[in-house]
A and B are shown apart, each in its own frame.
Chain A
């Protein structure tokens, strides 16, 4: 198991190094090399997945662990690779989507001046994501966590010569970094109590009560806050829609399938330390985010923005599932969502590529005839995400709703509402893009299907979107590992209700299907069947809601006024005061010293020196008087002499 895991990790790392330093000089700018390395990783991931499937329940191995450093007095901090069912699934999802995105990018990024660099960063992202997934301890996971953030920053801002991608990448990094503060809090709290970052030891400590209830809640909420940042949940969701400024393959890989799902992965991984209160928070945030993002998605016109809000909404679903204690359901949805959302993003990339980087769906329409393959696969994605029976999304979404039905009925209705919305806005997207009449003839005329490198990934993902829900693989692999079930808080789920029986609620399945069908139907009616006038009539009563949705509930404006501006103002104030007050105090002390020196100096000058200078001054004064006599006038001289003689004569007479 160690060999495939190491090869899996090191192959793309080598790919990154070679590609970064020499990619530009390689033939075809090295795209084949990166495909090779990520393909190797994929092969390793498949082998690990097969091993895991052969030994399904309780599959969990720490395959490698090494001391990394030892800054404390206790055990050294380690880097370790742990593989269990969840890891195996995640490895497969990450490497598969990464491979397909690499392949897609060969066509999509063709001709870009930084073609080689794009692949280098894709490789680095794959490495980082694999570090995150393979990590056997929290610190190691955090390293991957931050590195995916860096790669996300680099790739969102790939076209950084334009202003918008630069802003978006910065926003993404800083917003997720706010979430990372939560992660740091969790790391600190856990280490202070447990003295280790190893997952098994953390969970054991939680079980034994080493981690006090208060700190456990703090740690759990910290972990969740980090996940909120990374997975773009309320209130840190604002960066993900902006991140769509990045190249579309990046959006598919990072901002749909893998990195944003890392938050869900993290919460699932750390679930044994989540007390029920924290799980409630997770569920509520997830449910509210799902509904709110769904509402916003309805009012977006940029196809990538629709997909972005849809991603936020679906991630909210996953958190809803986890928060309801349905570990399996949340992760199952993560997997299926990775397939169909990556499919839709790549499909939108294909559309954007065909339309020469036009992303506004108001200028599209009728593209199905031009892009049949893209249109059909995209349609499969829409049906899957809408929860149409017998496609993958149906099973995973149903599992989540079933859990919510048992745990938090209120949130169940929220989830159901957003299921309806999902179907509705996805229909709007599909209808607006692929059906109807072309709205911009010029765009339409030039549209053409991409090369096979772009269509093959779509086909593969479409197949997976259909079949991923079948079989028992997910119940086997995504069940909480036995070890954790034995020691961890997952035991508490059993008091809530066994995860297994969530999935067999016919009533919930019916409701969910009905909601999806209603959404699809409504979408078709509103955007396809009825006239513009009727649509306007329909829109009028909903105008305030539409305005709120279109402006994304004013989160950006709110944050700008509440946080950014005050932070800048504070920065400027401090900067000013640093020169004026802090430095001023020091300078003032210096000035005081100088003034004191001046007083003593004055004493010195006037009293001591005064005596010395006084004699000189007297001489100066007398000299001044005497020099008056020497007016230069000869007669005056003579007069003085005569007077003097006269004086002497008089004196002689007197004495």
Chain B
């Protein structure tokens, strides 16, 4: 029962990479959102792992709970935006949404 810290970090790194690739490769806005969730949770794993192998207290775990809550809120807002975009454009392909262009 003593997996080394590196194993957790490797898992988190893999998960983060999967998220990054998802965000970069998928055009579907929902998929992009899922990719973001993956990256956030990869960070959560890191936080919890450092807390477990780290020194005192439960600060890492508290941070991860915060991250979860913020992720939920973020997902809600993002989904609402995606819905609004879908309503106005009939599609949710993020490449066609370039109104941020300066």
Specify whether A and B are partners. Answer: yes
A residues with CB within 8 A of B: 627, 630-635, 638-639, 642
Roughly how many angstroms separate A628 CA and B29 CA in the complex, as a whole number? 23
Specify which chain B residues have a CB less than 8 angstroms from the CB of A642 in the assembled complex.
20, 24
A632 B100 Cβ-Cβ under 8 A: yes
User: B102 in the interface, Cβ–Cβ < 8 Å?
Assistant: yes
Assess whether B32 is interfacial by the CB under 8 Å rule.
yes
- Which of the 9-residue segments B6-14, B59-67, B90-98 touches chain A? B90-98
Q: List 13 A-B contacts (CB under 8 A).
A: A627-B102, A630-B102, A632-B99, A632-B101, A632-B102, A633-B97, A633-B98, A634-B94, A635-B23, A635-B32, A638-B24, A639-B24, A642-B20
B residues at A contact (CB < 8 Å): 20, 23-24, 27, 32, 94-95, 97-102
Output the least CB separation between A118 and chain B (Å): 92
- With contacts A635-B23, A639-B24, A642-B24 taken as known, whether A630 is within 8 angstroms of B101 at the C-beta atoms is yes
CB distance from B76 to the nearest CB of A (A): 19
Nearest 8 interchain pairs by C-beta: A632-B101, A632-B98, A632-B100, A630-B102, A633-B98, A639-B24, A631-B101, A633-B95
Collect the chain A residues with CB atoms within 8 Å of residue B23's CB: 635, 638
Q: Are B101 and A635 in contact (CB under 8 A)?
A: no
In the complex, what distance in Å separates the CA atom of A459 from the CA atom of B50? 154
Contact B24 A633 (CB under 8 A): no
Q: B100 to chain A: which residues have CB within 8 Å? A: 630, 632-634
Residue of A nearest to B23 (CB): A638
Task: Report B79 CB to chain A, min CB distance, Å.
Answer: 16
Could you say which residues of chain A place their CB within 8 Å of the CB of B98? 631-633
- The answer, among B20, B94, B102, for a CB contact under 8 Å with A633, is B94
Contacts of B99 in A (CB 8 A): 632
Chain B proximity of A464: nearest CB distance (Å): 114
Residue numbers in B under 8 Å from A633 (CB-CB):
94-95, 97-98, 100-101
Residues of chain B lying within 8 A (CB to CB) of residue A632: 97-102
Q: How far is the CA of A631 from the CA of B95 in the complex (A)?
A: 10
CB–CB A635/B102 < 8 A? no
Q: In the assembly, what is the distance between CA of A514 and CA of B32, in Å?
A: 139
A397 to chain B, nearest CB (A): 114
Query: Cβ of A635 and Cβ of B94 under 8 Å apart?
Result: yes
Partner of B95, one of A627, A630, A635, A638: A635
Please give me the residue from chain B that is nearest to A626 by CB atom: B102
Q: Are A634 and B97 in contact (CB under 8 A)?
A: yes
Q: How far is the CB of A125 from chain B (nearest CB, A)?
A: 94
Residues of A within 8 A of B32 (CB): 635
Considering the chains assembled together, what is the distance between the CA atoms of A632 and B98 in angstroms?
4
Q: Which residues does chain A contribute within 8 Å of B102, judged by CB atoms?
A: 627, 630, 632
Beyond A632-B101, A639-B24, A642-B24, 10 additional contacts (C-beta under 8 Å) are: A630-B100, A630-B101, A630-B102, A631-B98, A632-B99, A632-B102, A634-B94, A634-B100, A635-B23, A638-B24
The CA-CA distance from A639 to B27 in the complex, in Å, is 13
CB-defined contacts of B27 to chain A, threshold 8 Å = 635
Report the separation of the CA atoms of residues A639 and B32 in the bound assembly, to the nearest whole angstrom.
13
Q: CB-CB < 8 A to B20: which residues of A?
A: 642
Cα A638 to Cα B97 with chains together (Å): 14
Set of chain B residues within 8 Å of A634, measured between Cβ atoms: 94, 97, 100
CB distance from B60 to the nearest CB of A (A): 23
Give the Cβ gap from A619 to chain B, nearest Cβ, in Å.
16
Closest to A630 in B: B102
Q: Which residues of B are found within 8 Å of A631, using beta-carbon distances?
A: 98, 101
Least CB distance from A643 to B in Å reads 10
Closest approach, in angstroms, between the C-beta of A348 and any C-beta of chain B? 102
Chain A's nearest CB lies how many Å from the CB of B48?
A: 23
- For A630, list chain B residues within 8 Å (CB): 100-102
Least Cβ–Cβ distance between A388 and chain B, in angstroms: 119
Distance of A634 Cα from B36 Cα, bound (Å):
13
Report Cα–Cα, A632/B20, bound state, in Å: 19
Chain A residue at minimal CB-CB distance from B26: A635
Residues of B within 8 A of A635 (CB): 23-24, 27, 32, 94-95
Distance of A633 Cα from B27 Cα, bound (Å): 11
Closest to A642 in B: B20
Closest chain B CB from A44 CB (angstroms): 108
Assembled-state Cα–Cα distance A630/B101 (Å): 6
Q: Min CB distance, A248 to chain B, in Å?
A: 98
Shortest beta-carbon distance, B16 to chain A, in Å? 11
Provide the bound-state CA to CA distance between A436 and B97, in Å: 116
Which residues from B are CB-within-8-Å of A627? 102
How long is the Cα–Cα vector from A635 to B23 in the complex, in angstroms? 7
Taken together as a complex, chains A and B put the C-alpha atoms of A639 and B100 apart, in Å, by 16
A642 CA / B102 CA spacing, docked (Å): 21
Bound CA–CA A631/B27 (angstroms): 15
CA distance A633 to B99 in the complex (A): 8
For B101, what are the chain A residues with a Cβ–Cβ distance below 8 Å?
A: 630-633
**Once the chains are docked, how many angstroms separate the CA of A631 from the CA of B24?**
15
Q: Which residues of B contact A639 (CB under 8 A)?
A: 24
Bound form: Cα–Cα A625–B94 in Å: 23
With A and B bound together, what is the CA distance between A639 and B24 in angstroms? 6
**CA distance in complex: A632, B97 (Å):** 7
- Residues on A with beta carbons closer than 8 Å to the beta carbon of B24: 635, 638-639, 642
What distance in Å separates the Cβ of A540 from its nearest Cβ neighbour in chain B? 106
Q: How far is the CA of A632 from the CA of B101 in the complex (A)?
A: 3
Of residues A627, A630, A631, A635, which shows the largest number of chain B Cβ atoms within 10 Å of its Cβ?
A635
Q: Whole-angstrom distance between the alpha carbons of A639 and B95 in the complex?
A: 13
Q: Could you tell me the distance in whole angstroms from the C-beta of A472 to the nearest C-beta in chain B? A: 124
Complex: A633 Cα to B95 Cα, angstroms = 6
Rounded to whole Å, the gap between the CB of B5 and the closest CB of chain A is 20
- Rounded to whole Å, the gap between the CB of B45 and the closest CB of chain A is 19
Q: How far is the CA of A642 from the CA of B23 in the complex (A)?
A: 11
A630 to B98, CA, bound (A): 9
Across the interface, name the chain A residue whose C-beta is closest to B100.
A632
Shortest distance from the beta carbon of A218 to any chain B beta carbon, whole Å = 94
CA distance A148 to B99 in the complex (A): 95
CA–CA, A523 and B99, complex, Å: 115
CA distance A627 to B27 in the complex (A): 23
Residues of B within 8 A of A638 (CB): 23-24
CA distance A631 to B99 in the complex (A): 9
